[in-house]
């Protein structure tokens, strides 16, 4: 049995600010404090392994804080980056007309095979990347892993872990809307190497975060 502790990065300037930010958005001070809180939680868990991180700045900063505290090695991988949005929205206000138009178009057409507004990842892209990401994790030699990634992509990973190749865009959209994700929340998946199945053990545990963090 292999256990993966998925950590959503701490609050970033993209989360807190009014503008749509990309991979370069760093952690806020609040985000760094959130990561310190999750470090205290991780220190009590039986994690004897490496840290795998998204290449996005906010995730790498989160992983480095965990690395410094727990003295674990970090491996970065583009398999765990946040979903790619259309380039038209970056630098735009989140509630601007172009941001709303793009968001509405993607939601309305999410179930249409091959649909793209422009250069974003669509459902098929995300499903394929989730498959590759989970395969990558299952092939690691360690019995427990920490994976620092992103709120939206964690939901895609969980959807694929539960449904595998039977995952449809309809099921995926339902889970995306139903599952909320806190910054620095912990989600745990167990992998059974005998039957290659994944089991969701814990979703979005953020009891380590205080009201003030």
> For 40-79, what is each residue's pLDDT tens digit?
888 887 666 789 999 999 999 999 999 999 988 899 999 9
113 Cβ contact partners less than 8 Å away, ≥ 6 residues apart = 124
DSSP state, residue 93: B
Quote the pLDDT of residue 41: 86
CB-based contact 69:43 (threshold 8 Å): yes
CB-based contact 155:175 (threshold 8 Å): yes
Quote the pLDDT of residue 43: 85
Q: Whole-angstrom Cα distance, residue 157 to residue 197?
A: 13
CB-based contact 22:90 (threshold 8 Å): yes
Structure tokens belonging to residue 113 = 């095979």
Quote the pLDDT of residue 44: 80
Q: Whole-angstrom Cα distance, residue 137 to residue 3?
A: 10
Q: Whole-angstrom Cα distance, residue 29 to residue 11?
A: 8
Task: Quickly count helices (H) and strands (E) in the chain.
Answer: 7, 6
DSSP state, residue 12: B
Residue with tokens 């998925």: 6
Quote the pLDDT of residue 85: 97
Quote the pLDDT of residue 21: 94
CATH number of 2-205: 3.40.50.1240
Residue with tokens 């998946």: 189
Q: With a threshold of 0.75, does the pTM exceed it?
A: yes
Residue with tokens 């427990």: 144
Instruction: Enumerate residue ranges in the chain where pLDDT < 50.
Output: none
Query: In which element (H, E) is residue 81 found?
Result: none
């Amino acid at each position: 049995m292999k256990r993966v502790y998925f950590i959503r990065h701490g609050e970033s300037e993209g989360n807190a600010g009014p503008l749509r930010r990309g991979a370069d958005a760093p952690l806020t001070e609040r985000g760094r404090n959130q990561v310190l809180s999750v470090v205290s939680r991780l220190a009590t868990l039986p994690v004897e392994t490496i840290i795998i991180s998204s290449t996005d700045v906010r995730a790498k900063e989160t992983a480095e804080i965990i690395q410094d505290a727990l003295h674990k090695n970090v491996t970065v991988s583009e398999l765990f980056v946040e979903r790619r949005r259309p380039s038209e929205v970056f630098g735009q206000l989140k509630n601007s007309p172009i941001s709303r138009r793009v968001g509405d178009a993607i939601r309305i057409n999410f179930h249409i095979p091959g649909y793209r507004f422009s250069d974003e990842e669509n459902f098929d892209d995300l499903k394929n990347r989730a498959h590759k990401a989970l395969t990558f994790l299952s092939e690691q030699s360690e019995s427990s892993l920490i994976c620092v990634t992103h709120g939206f992509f964690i939901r895609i990973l969980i959807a694929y872990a539960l449904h595998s190749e039977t995952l449809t865009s309809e099921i995926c959209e339902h889970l995306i809307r139903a599952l909320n994700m806190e910054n620095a929340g912990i989600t745990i998946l167990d992998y059974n190497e005998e039957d290659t199945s994944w089991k969701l053990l814990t979703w979005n545990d953020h009891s380590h975060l205080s009201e003030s963090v």
